[in-house]
Amino acid sequence: MENYFQKEIETASPEQMKKIQDEKLVKQVKHVWDNVPYYRKKMEEAGVTPDDIKSRDDLHKLPFLSKADLRLAYPYGLLGEPLEKCVRIHSTSGTTGKRVIAFYTQEDLDMWSDCTARALVAAGATKESVVQVSYGYGLFTGGAGLNDGSHKLGCLTVPTSSGSTDRQIMFIQDLEASILCCTPSYAAYLAERMKEMGLSPDDIPLKAGIFGAEAWSEEMRRDIEKTMGIKAYDIYGLTELSGPGVSFECCEQSGMHINEDHFIPEIIDPDTGEVLPDETEGELVFTAIDKTAFPIMRYRTRDICSLSRKKCSCGRTLIKMGKLKGRSDDMLIIRGVNVFPSQIETVLLNNGYPANYQIIVGRVNNTDTFDIHVEMTPEMFTDNLGEVESRQKKLVDDLKAMLGIKAKVTLVAPKSITRSEGKAVRVIDNRKL
Ligand code: DLL
């Protein structure tokens, strides 16, 4: 029998859900108009006032917010509450220097942990479960998000954070963890390590995994499930909207239920901004209707997928989004970390290299590989291997400081990277997702 964390909401009728959304949206638009001058100005420019928004059907009248707005408004420009009411921030990994900072009141955190608790229950968690949270803790939302949902449910929460792979496996074994939360690529790495240690699925106490924060294929899901003897569930979210738990998979494992009593989704044509019907692929846009410290409206995620209201066998009526197909911009997600080619370019140019480089991303044994080929200038070109190695090491270190993950850097001879006559192709992504 299917369990729910908040059954009345998760199985509400379409009419009940619309009523919840209409009421919250009207209230939220007033809150934003009164407290967020940045967005009020956008509304004024679009000729919209709170009186024009009477229900969800009027959502399309509101202006979009984009990542560029978030950067312009950095750090406090979209804050909807006095700072003394805020109790936490989280932050994205940052693009060209400016990170996005999201603020939370205690009520916002409570709402967020409801979302992750729903995801945990959908993956089979009860208060008897031991939940190992191997997402990073800190500014990243993964660790804190699943941690708080697990607490709320009353699970024994094991806050290992990411890294120290053998220790992770020791805790899973010794504490008989039943649910593992981490990125799919880390799950694959853990699975690989378990296999190397001679552990068979029967030796591994885990029953389920809640994996997200990056795109992953069905093949990868099947591999992880087989090696660990678990059911692997997808989970989606983004810092701007709180973090993981914006949507989550249920036993059907075919798309993620969106917590639409908190986040109203729309799919738009990324070029025209036109709202598209259900089952059509486009850019996902979200309006947060009840978080007040960082109340973002019609936020363009740049994630591409479709929405579906088809009946789900789990009994949840929450709308579903399909697995993510890709992004409408150039951001790469490598080992769960957001990487922009422009960040790499900055590091290279700061170190005196020309802007001739190539980023090659692949996937070996379910883990992302990340290679950067960088051309030397003729002045740098040398036969002295020691010198080349120390130059490479300097770049690896600087890139790690900028991106938070390690790349393999290879310095190549001047003029060896093909010049382009049109737009440069800097990224070769060989991952088949
Ligand atoms: O990745 C929040 C999160 C943490 C989600 C843990 C799930 C689990 P950000 O770092 O702000 O937040 O990155 C958000 O990551 O716009 C997507 O492009 C991508 N992403 C998140 N979940 C998935 C997923 C967290 N399940 C960005 N599948 C989003 C594919 C995902 N991509």
Tell me the sheet residues that pair with 244. Answer: 237
Indicate which CATH number applies to the domain containing 381: 3.30.300.30
Answer yes or no: do 55 and 140 share one domain: yes
Asked if residue 330 has pLDDT above 70, the reply is no
Buried b (16+ CB within 10 A) or exposed e, 343-376: bbbbbbeeeebbebbbbbbebeebebbbebbbbb
Indicate which CATH number applies to the domain containing 288: 3.40.50.12780
Strands 367-375 and 357-364: antiparallel
Ligand 1 centroid from CA 243, angstroms: 8
Answer yes or no: do 312 and 409 share one domain: no
Closest CA to 361 of 372, 345, 374, 348: 372
Ligand 1 centroid from CA 244, angstroms: 7
Answer yes or no: do 72 and 22 share one domain: yes
Could you give the count of Cα atoms lying within 13 Å of 131 in the half-sphere of its Cβ?
33
Those residues with Cβ within 8 angstroms of residue 191's Cβ, 6 or more apart along the chain or in another chain:
223, 224, 227, 228, 366
Last residue within a domain, chosen from 328, 349, 380: 328
Answer yes or no: do 297 and 395 share one domain: no
Q: Is the CB of 233 inside a 6 Å radius of any atom of ligand 1?
A: no
Range of the domain at 355: 332-429
The encoded tokens of residue 71 equal 């950067």
Strands 367-375 and 408-412: parallel
Q: Is the CB of 25 inside a 6 Å radius of any atom of ligand 1?
A: no
**CA 136 → CA 100, 139, 236, 295, 396, distances in Å?**
17, 9, 15, 25, 22
Could you give the count of Cα atoms lying within 13 Å of 218 in the half-sphere of its Cβ?
6
Ligand 1 centroid from CA 212, angstroms: 6
Answer yes or no: do 154 and 168 share one domain: yes
For residue 304, the model assigns a pLDDT of 85
Closest CA to 271 of 259, 283, 285: 283
For residue 340, the model assigns a pLDDT of 76
Mutate to test the pocket of ligand 1, among 90, 211, 236, 330 (most ligand atoms within 8 A of CB): 236
Answer yes or no: do 220 and 163 share one domain: yes
Answer yes or no: do 147 and 274 share one domain: yes
Answer yes or no: do 240 and 322 share one domain: yes
Say whether 340 sits in a helix, a strand or coil: coil
Mutate to test the pocket of ligand 1, among 116, 180, 303, 368 (most ligand atoms within 8 A of CB): 303
pLDDT range class, residue 433, cuts 50, 70, 90: low
For residue 324, the model assigns a pLDDT of 79
How buried is 37 (Cβ within 10 angstroms: 0-12 exposed, 13-18 middle, 19+ buried)?
A: middle
Answer yes or no: do 356 and 284 share one domain: no
The encoded tokens of residue 33 equal 């108009």
C-alpha dihedral over 156, 162, 164, 170, to 10 degrees? 20
Mutate to test the pocket of ligand 1, among 147, 224, 259, 324 (most ligand atoms within 8 A of CB): 324
Say whether 311 sits in a helix, a strand or coil: coil
Residue % of the chain over a pLDDT of 90:
76
Closest CA to 17 of 200, 260, 247: 260
Ligand 1 centroid from CA 137, angstroms: 15
For residue 420, the model assigns a pLDDT of 47
Residue nearest to atom 20 of ligand 1 (CA): 213
Answer yes or no: do 408 and 361 share one domain: yes
Answer yes or no: do 1 and 20 share one domain: yes
Ligand 1 centroid from CA 237, angstroms: 5
Q: Which atom of ligand 1 is nearest to the CA of 301?
A: 16
DSSP 167: H
For the entire predicted model, the pTM comes to 0.81
What is the rounded average pLDDT of the residues 97-102? 79
Ligand 1 centroid from CA 246, angstroms: 10
Count structural domains, the chain: 2
Q: Is the CB of 237 inside a 6 Å radius of any atom of ligand 1?
A: yes
Angle at 216 between CA 211 and CA 219, to 5 degrees: 105
Angle at 283 between CA 224 and CA 253, to 5 degrees: 30
Q: Is the CB of 144 inside a 6 Å radius of any atom of ligand 1?
A: no
Last residue within a domain, chosen from 298, 328, 358: 328
Answer yes or no: do 279 and 360 share one domain: no
Q: What is the C-alpha separation between 312 and 257, in angstroms, rounded? A: 9
Say whether 400 sits in a helix, a strand or coil: helix
Where is pLDDT greater, at 51 or 383? 51
Q: In the chain, count of helices (H) and strands (E)?
A: 11, 21
For residue 328, the model assigns a pLDDT of 52
Residue whose tokens read 């496996």: 169
Q: What is the pLDDT of residues 153-177, one digit of tens each?
A: 999 999 999 889 999 999 999 999 9
Q: What is the pLDDT of residues 289-324, one digit of tens each?
A: 999 999 999 999 988 899 999 999 999 999 999 987
For residue 425, the model assigns a pLDDT of 67
Q: Which element (helix H / strand E) includes 362?
A: strand 357-364
Ligand 1 centroid from CA 10, angstroms: 22
Where is pLDDT greater, at 217 or 106? 106
Where is average pLDDT lowest: 54-68, 308-322, 409-423? 409-423
Last residue within a domain, chosen from 328, 347, 364: 328
- Residue 167 burial (CB count, 10 A): 10
Ligand 1 centroid from CA 9, angstroms: 24
Strands 326-327 and 243-249: unpaired
For residue 424, the model assigns a pLDDT of 56
Q: What is the pLDDT of residues 332-366, one digit of tens each?
A: 889 988 887 778 878 888 898 877 789 999 999 88
